[in-house]
Amino acid sequence: MSSHILLVGVNHTTAPIALRERLAIGGTELVDALTRFGASNGHGSTLLPEGVILSTCNRLEMYAVTEDVQRGRERLIQFLSQNRKVPVEEFASSLYVKSNADAVDHLTRVACGLDSMVVGEPQILGQVTDAYRTALSQHATGPVLNTLFRHAIQAGKRARTETAISQHATSVPSAAAALAEKEMQRLDDQVVLVMGAGEIGQIAARALVARGAKGIIVANRTYDRGLMLARELNGEAMTFDRQAEALVRADIVITATDAPHIIVTTEKVKAAMAERPERPMLIIDIAVPRDTDPGVADIPGIRLFDIDDLRDVVNGNLAAREREIPRVEAIAAEEATTFMTWFQALDVIPTIADLRQRAEAVKAQELDKALRRLGDISDQERQVVCAMAHGLVNKLLHEPTVRLKKHAAQGNGYLYTGAVRELFGLEVDKEHEA
């Protein structure tokens, strides 16, 4: 039975942030999920022998190899529901399911930044790479997904080196900085609090400084990491336990932590605003799951934006990016096609190998008979006979080999492998053929 590539996921176009944050899998949860991915059927089943989970602020996608697309789809959905403790009916309508070429095309486009909220965003390639490496470290991948993700990552790298797609792109954190400038008119006289010193927080903080922000406070769970970023930006570092103080001082708050729960609560913001009633506060939450309680938006003087609100901001630079999209699409399609040629050939390679093995066995047997009948001949004559036998086998197998590979590339190789095995009496190795 042939193997299939299966994708089940949600993203920013199919699910709101409230749902995406409930389905997000990160940190140790991702490692734990991957360790149970392949064994999720309970009996060491090979229904999902390979898997990679891509979880970012804008998407949760599960890639798998399966022999049965329908059963594999059902198992992935059940796996997600059980892992996140979210009933299937609450996210089923937001899911997209793709298989084989469609799934491959989707992943290469994702790695190239074509499927992002911000077209060409540079972070997604690193996120795809990290997702693959994490799955690889947990032995969740195999030959198919290893090859697929390498082609997808190669597509992403080529998009960034062969086109200007990333030069014109506005990342989510830089879009947050642009929104802050738009809402506050100017940043040089504002106190900016950046919560989270990870990659996203770092990009947001640097983008704010590039737009003129001077008073930067970096709050992070670990002080040393926050201090490194604060020193780079000539700012101030503090830990989360000083959040109340920071909120009183801040005019702009950018939250970008990887906390699994709300850290900016309604109570904390109310308390902060009580001490500075005449000064409004802008909060831009770009974390998934969200760092900020949505109820904060109801507090007088607060303007709250989340990651979904950034769509209007990122549309401002579309013209330059759109000129690069056809070139990036061509790169994504080229890498996807190269992979699919390899993947589809997997169906016929075992049959080609078995056919050649059978032919070589017959050749050896008949050659031995012929040489014994010829009796005492010279080494040169022996070489001529052997070369003729070898040439006959190669010429006879050349055309069916080429045609099998051609049909495999067209996606219908499986129609011919069965016929070849039946006609030549080849033993069916079900495990090999899978």
Q: Is 42 helix (H, G, I), strand (E, B) or coil?
A: coil
418/414 Cα distance (integer angstroms)? 7
C-alpha dihedral, 161 to 167 to 170 to 171, nearest 10°: 40
- What's at 326, amino acid-wise? P
88/70 Cα distance (integer angstroms)? 16
Q: Which of 57, 65, 253, 264 is catalytic?
A: 57
- What's at 9, amino acid-wise? G
User: Could you tell me the CA-to-CA distances from 188 to 181, 215, 411 in Å, in that order?
Assistant: 10, 8, 60
176/190 Cα distance (integer angstroms)? 15
Q: Are 306 and 285 in contact (CB under 8 A)?
A: yes
For residue 142, report the phi and psi dihedrals to the nearest 5 degrees.
-150, -165
Q: Give residues with Cβ within 8 angstroms of 117, minimum separation 6.
A: 12, 58, 172, 307, 310, 311, 314
37/45 Cα distance (integer angstroms)? 11
* 61: enclosing H helix or E strand: strand 59-66
For CA atoms 70, 71, 75, 76, the dihedral sign is: negative
User: Could you tell me the CA-to-CA distances from 150 to 83, 160, 331, 339, 357 in Å, in that order?
Assistant: 27, 16, 14, 9, 31
Q: Is 57 a catalytic residue?
A: yes
For residue 401, report the phi and psi dihedrals to the nearest 5 degrees.
-65, -45
Q: Are 122 and 199 in contact (CB under 8 A)?
A: no
> Which residue is listed with tokens 């469609």?
102
Q: Looking at the annotation, which residues are catalytic?
A: 57
